[in-house]
Amino acid sequence: MPLFILLNKSVLHPSVIVLPALVFIFLYFRLNKLFIFKELIQWPKDSYTIRKYILPVIPIAIFLLASTYIFVPTQLFNLPKANTKIWLFLIVFYPLFSAYGQEIIFRSFQYYRYKDIYVNQFGFMSLV
């Protein structure tokens, strides 16, 4: 899709459609009383839960850094070095507009489609 947009200048950029759709989805779920936004921003409060999620990331990050350094050392940290502004925009706006939007859509689908299973089998609705 990105190459198609690059080569065909008459095509609208997907963000022209995606961003208004995301705003519509946010507003729809905001007005829907069954969807609770607070469930999306709960942070773990105990150190065990934090360690459970952080510890697996450390060896994976070390492995990825080492692999990149061994196999393609010229590409290591290429984006922050070459395009610092794009890199900063990516690390700030990607989680907000892409990952967070996907999380809202996925949770709403998952929880409300399989609500009966969660309530009947596990006795609770929220998995957070």
Q: Is residue 54 part of a domain?
A: yes
Please give the single-letter amino acid code of residue 52: K
Q: Is residue 4 part of a domain?
A: no
Q: Is residue 128 part of a domain?
A: no
Which range is least confidently modeled, 38-42, 48-52, 109-113?
Answer: 38-42
Q: Is residue 63 part of a domain?
A: yes
Which range is least confidently modeled, 51-55, 109-113, 123-127?
Answer: 123-127
Q: Is residue 48 part of a domain?
A: yes
Please give the residue range of the domain that contains residue 42.
Answer: 13-122
Q: Is residue 3 part of a domain?
A: no
Q: Is 83 left (phi over 0), alpha (psi -120 to 50) or beta?
A: beta
pLDDT of residue 76: 92
**pLDDT at residue 120 is higher than 80:** no
pLDDT band at 6 (very low <50, low <70, confident <90, very high): low
pTM of the model: 0.49
Q: Is residue 1 part of a domain?
A: no
pLDDT tens-place string over residues 68-112: 999 999 999 999 999 999 999 889 888 877 777 787 777 777 777
Q: Is residue 7 part of a domain?
A: no
Residues sharing a CB contact under 8 Å with residue 78, sequence separation 6 or more, in sequence order: none
The domain total for the chain is 1
| Residue 75 contacts residue 11 (beta carbons within 8 Å) | no
Separation CA 39–CA 94 (nearest Å): 20
